[in-house]
Chain A
Amino acid sequence: MTTRSAMTAIATALLLTAAGLLGACAGPKSTALVHPEKVQGLPICTSCHDQDRAATDHDAQWMRSHGAVAVRDQRTCEMCHQVSSCADCHAGKEEIKPSDKRPSRFDTATPHRGDYLSQHRIDGRVDPASCFPCHGRKNQGRCRTCHQ
């Protein structure tokens, strides 16, 4: 795809978006910015919602599967979470491990617990693609102390 055709596609997308914003006067109501009920811990959404919300159940696999949900619409996440909840792990220059920021949440499958300094060599060789979303394109000055 050439830059020109890409720009055309983007311009078309912006026009469609602008048309959508203009049509926002007539369409169905927007979803709430904030979840109307207080939610604590790791919620199982289907305990209140219909089965079509099963994808957002914060079950044992949630730490690994939540990315596929966020791809569709991160605004769903923002109904209950501050943007900082995402940035805590996914921002560009983080120096504190996610598990260290939640010292009491040993029940969550937060990555990099224990001796991850040694373990990451093996996990990185076995499946480097699993590391890439958080560490691939970030300014990881900490990594450069070893990875020159």
Chain B
Amino acid sequence: MALVANAPPAAASVTFESRTYVPARGTDGGNTHVLLYEYLALDAEDIATPGLYLRAGGWGRTDLADETFGRTTNGDLQYAFLGWRAPRLNGEARVGRIALTAGVARNEVFDGLLLGSDLPGGFDITAFGGIPVETDEGGRSSDSLYGARLSQGRTGLYRIGASYLKEENGGNPSREEAGTDIFLSPLPLVEVRGSSLYNVIDKSWARHDYRLALGPFFGRLRLSATWASTDYLSYFQSPVHPAFAPEIAEKLDRIGGAVEIGLGGGVTFTGEYTAYRYDVSGDAQAYGAGLDWAGAGFSAGGAYRQVQGDAEENRYQAIRAYATVVYRLVRISASAEHLTYDEAINGVKNATTGTLSLGYNLSRTLELSASAGYGETPEFDHEVKGLLAVLWRYDASMKKGGTK
């Protein structure tokens, strides 16, 4: 199943990865699905000339038994671009199918051009434009996506960014956003990071999302506080996913805090609390805690989380435990989860699932793994799942110390 790659002679550094997944799933009275996925990814750095690189990744799927999601085959070219990094000022150009996150552009995938560079005075800029990939269901004629992010800052102290994005579908504006993002570290161990998103079409703020992080104090204590405010009507503009068409003019303020404490001996405690305040719906809250233990050749842990919504249908408790042991070339992992829903779903209040995984490193570049899972959930009385995975990597960069 693994492919064989030969590094181009001119390439100074090539990483080629093949991941083959064969998931299988069966339920009471349902079809048995067996699928074959092949993921390929290529990174070639400094090809032909220093700074020139090629990156590409994608996957294909075929059904070995029964049809899945309405089609027996599927696939996606996730990204494929030729890039060049200038030796100075982080000047960069990319052309092809580009996946981009920069300011209000979040995980945008488009066929086009990206340019970026540092500028004098602590400024840097990224500009991009092309044809969006994710909204191609109605055809790509007259579709466009373009935008830019400009920021100014000083390394380690602050950076403030302003960004803009516009997407047109069939020649009509489907999304127009502007935004700001900030990083601020006025004191050691104190950091504020966040962003605000403005819906230009609605002329209203769609979302604010900020996080204050403190630590690590004494190398073992981290604290964080978060605030996110979302206006549903403005934020969920032009959704492709039908579940995100807002029916009410809801506004949500999410306020949370988290603590992480290293207890020594590889043991870490985490705790979190989140309050949800709505304009229309009743308030909700969530809290939880976890304990993780990691050492040479093993890791183990457990966590509890409770969500208390305004009604029984929005409440559940979740418990999870896991353990992994690595002995020489063999890895054994196990995980179990149990959920209790306050209101029964399909007449069932509990869900229990478990997974056992066995991995074997056949060589430094080839890993085989097999997983088996069983579940009793509100959706399925008995669900059996299996997954075979073959991970193979040719990584020339490892020879010079880097990793990908």
Q: Are A139 and B137 within 8 A (Cβ)?
A: yes
Which residue on A lies nearest to B136, using beta carbons?
A139
Q: Are A61 and B88 within 8 A (Cβ)?
A: no
Q: Closest 8 interchain pairs by CB? A: A20-B117, A52-B156, A114-B337, A106-B322, A115-B351, A27-B89, A13-B148, A24-B91
Which residue on A lies nearest to B375, using beta carbons?
A115
Q: Are A34 and B13 within 8 A (Cβ)?
A: yes
Say if the beta carbon of A133 comes within 8 Å of chain B. Answer: yes
On chain A, the residues within 8 Å of B404 by CB distance are: 34, 80-82
Interface residues of A (CB under 8 A from B): 1, 3, 6, 9-10, 13-14, 16-21, 23-31, 33-40, 46, 50-52, 54-55, 57, 59-61, 65, 67-75, 80-84, 86-87, 90-96, 100-101, 103-104, 106-107, 113-115, 117-119, 121-129, 131-145, 147-148
Q: Are B57 and A87 within 8 A (Cβ)?
A: yes
Which residue on B lies nearest to A13, using beta carbons?
B148
Q: Are A126 and B314 within 8 A (Cβ)?
A: yes
Q: Are B239 and A65 within 8 A (Cβ)?
A: no
On chain A, the residues within 8 Å of B21 by CB distance are: 96, 100-101
On chain A, the residues within 8 Å of B61 by CB distance are: 95
> Complex formed: what's the CA distance from A80 to B200 in Å?
35
Question: How far does the Cβ of B48 sit from chain A's closest Cβ, in whole Å?
Answer: 15
> Complex formed: what's the CA distance from A28 to B356 in Å?
51
User: How many interface residues does B have (CB within 8 Å)?
Assistant: 156
A60-B387 contact in complex given A92-B133, A103-B357, C-beta closer than 8 Å: no
On chain B, the residues within 8 Å of A81 by CB distance are: 404
Say if the beta carbon of B39 comes within 8 Å of chain A. Answer: yes
Q: Are B155 and A27 within 8 A (Cβ)?
A: no
Q: Are A137 and B241 within 8 A (Cβ)?
A: yes
Q: Are B183 and A72 within 8 A (Cβ)?
A: yes
Which of A3, A18, A33, A140 has its CB near the most chain B CB atoms (within 10 A)? A33
On chain A, the residues within 8 Å of B173 by CB distance are: 3
On chain B, the residues within 8 Å of A38 by CB distance are: 398, 401-403
Q: Are B377 and A117 within 8 A (Cβ)?
A: yes
A50-B156 contact in complex given A30-B85, A113-B335, C-beta closer than 8 Å: yes
A103-B387 contact in complex given A30-B86, A84-B57, A91-B109, C-beta closer than 8 Å: yes
Q: Are B125 and A137 within 8 A (Cβ)?
A: no
Which residue on B lies nearest to A14, using beta carbons?
B127
Q: Are A74 and B102 within 8 A (Cβ)?
A: yes
List 24 A-B pairs, Cβ < 8 Å: A9-B164, A16-B125, A17-B125, A28-B88, A36-B401, A39-B403, A40-B403, A65-B193, A65-B213, A71-B102, A74-B102, A75-B92, A81-B404, A87-B57, A92-B134, A104-B369, A119-B318, A122-B307, A125-B313, A126-B314, A128-B243, A132-B236, A134-B107, A139-B136
A82-B17 contact in complex given A52-B155, A122-B316, C-beta closer than 8 Å: yes
B81-101 residues at the A interface, CB under 8 angstroms: 85-93, 99-101
Q: Are B318 and A114 within 8 A (Cβ)?
A: yes
Which residue on B lies nearest to A31, using beta carbons?
B90
Say if the beta carbon of B233 comes within 8 Å of chain A. Answer: no
A136-B151 contact in complex given A20-B125, A55-B183, C-beta closer than 8 Å: no
On chain A, the residues within 8 Å of B327 by CB distance are: none
B282-331 residues at the A interface, CB under 8 angstroms: 284, 286, 290, 292, 294, 299, 301, 307, 309, 313-316, 318, 320, 322-324, 331
- Contact among B78, B127, B216 for A84, CB-based, below 8 A: B78
Say if the beta carbon of B227 comes within 8 Å of chain A. Answer: no
On chain B, the residues within 8 Å of A92 by CB distance are: 76, 78, 109, 133-134
- Contact among A73, A106, A126 for B333, CB-based, below 8 A: A106
- Contact among A30, A69, A117 for B88, CB-based, below 8 A: A30
Q: Are A140 and B240 within 8 A (Cβ)?
A: yes
On chain A, the residues within 8 Å of B64 by CB distance are: none
On chain A, the residues within 8 Å of B320 by CB distance are: 113-114
B225-242 residues at the A interface, CB under 8 angstroms: 228, 230, 232, 235-236, 238-242
Question: How far does the Cβ of B233 sit from chain A's closest Cβ, in whole Å?
Answer: 12
Q: Are A1 and B178 within 8 A (Cβ)?
A: yes
Q: Are A71 and B125 within 8 A (Cβ)?
A: no
Q: Are B242 and A141 within 8 A (Cβ)?
A: no
Question: How far does the Cβ of A96 sit from chain B's closest Cβ, in whole Å?
Answer: 6
Q: Are B117 and A21 within 8 A (Cβ)?
A: yes
Q: Are A34 and B402 within 8 A (Cβ)?
A: yes
